[in-house]
Amino acid sequence: MNNLDNIRNDFPILSKKVNGKSLVYFDNGATTQKPNSVIQVISDYYKDYNSNVHRGVHQLSQLATEKYENARIVLKQFINASYKEEVIFTKGTTEAINIVASSYGRKSLSKGDEVIISAMEHHSNIVPWQMICEEKGAKLIIAPINNDGDLIMDQLFDLINSNTKIISLTHVSNTLGTINPIQEIIDTAHSYNAVVLIDAAQSIQHLPIDVQQLNCDFLAFSGHKMYGPTGVGVLFGKKRILEEMGPIQGGGDMIKEVTFNKTTYNDLPYKFEAGTPNIVGVIGLAEAIKYIQKTGFDFIQKQESALLMKATHSLSEIDGLRIIGNAKQKSSVISFVVDGVHPFDIGTLLDQLGIAIRTGHHCTQPLMDYFKIPGTARASFSFYNSEDEVGLMVEGLKKAVKMLA
């Protein structure tokens, strides 16, 4: 049985003091903290077997390669991919989406074709599609949302037609916390022979994901948002689709044979992993997944749901505060604005109390335009946070509002 105090002891930074106060870390949507086990395997790599992977015949290289490729198996099992070759290691969600847009999009899109995204997307799931649509003469179609932050599903389904080639959609909004009904969308998209990419950067750490059950064509996520290192992530793609795609970077490890006349590309997954990878990041990510599995999604969801419920109820009682995003299904993210107060000022004052939240547009500027606001204050919770910490944030907000309003 999980004990919150024991879990918090696994994360050394949570005992840190900030401005003389105990740290309250509510910026998990931007990046999560790392447990001791992840920190330890990173240290072990550099102390004990720091070496490059693949092709090395010496012992350190063979050990590093074994750990690196074992991590791929951990990832395969975690998302229930059919083949380990369907797991491509990337720098993160952004690079993963760019690979799909630049490789699959460049190959499959023609003038007049359509790509659908939603009004709540992160910039990393907007800009790559704008770029490839402009290059290929395709149209970028935006699925609308309502004032609660839910997709307007009947309008979304009306947009899907025989011209739709790609739908790229966030599973969970990083700003609103909205959990989108991706299964229904995938099924409908496939009935029109469109492929679907799911941006799971904000869901993979909160919800169990089975890519075979979802039947998504691509899935992208980042390690640092799921208790792993920065600079590492994953692109899952169906094997038959990945095999038809060309690499977008050339260099070492993505080749079988190079001559000045012709280069033969490597097999999956290495075709998409040019150059020396983030070896220690991959190993650390696998360890982070083991920590999530040890903790269990039942505990994670129960704990984070309780935090969101308490925060929503408490913040709703503060005069002049308005929550942005009241979707029917929400993850543990709450964004808000206060009448007459800039979010930056709220964040600055809370920081003086040792409370870390995020302020700004959260890389969702079109979403801010929709709500006609410059930005929000955002608290994003993890299972290692406590309801007492939510209480400290609420009391800090009351002081900030009284001082600033």
Q: Are 283 and 68 in contact (CB under 8 A)?
A: yes
Within 317-364, residue ranges assigned H as helices are 343-352
3-class SS of residue 21: strand
SS3 99: helix
Distances (CA, A) of 138 to 110, 188, 394: 6, 21, 47
Rounded Cα gap, residues 162 and 172, in angstroms: 27
Residue 14, token pair as written in the block: 């949570």
Encoded amino acid at 158, one letter: D
- CB count in 10 Å sphere of residue 329: 11
Secondary structure percentages of the chain, helix, strand, coil, to 5: 45, 20, 35
- Rounded-to-integer distance, Cα 78 and Cα 220, Å: 13
H/E segment holding residue 346? helix 343-352
Which among 74, 41, 32, 65 has a CA at the least distance from the CA of 290?
74
| CB crowding 350-384: b at 16 or more within 10 Å, else e | bbebbbbbbbbbbbbeebbeebeeebbbbbbbbbb
Question: Counting every residue, how long is the chain?
Answer: 405
Query: What does the DSSP 8-state code read for residue 103?
Result: I
187 contact partners, CB below 8 Å, separation of at least 6:
215
Q: Dihedral (C-alpha) 389, 392, 396, 398: value to the nearest 10 degrees?
A: 110
Three-state DSSP state, 159: helix
Is 379 strand, coil or helix?
strand
Active site residues: 363
* DSSP 8-state symbol, 64: H
Residue type, 103: S
Residues 89 and 273 sit within 8 Å (Cβ to Cβ): yes
CB 195 within 8 A of CB 166: yes
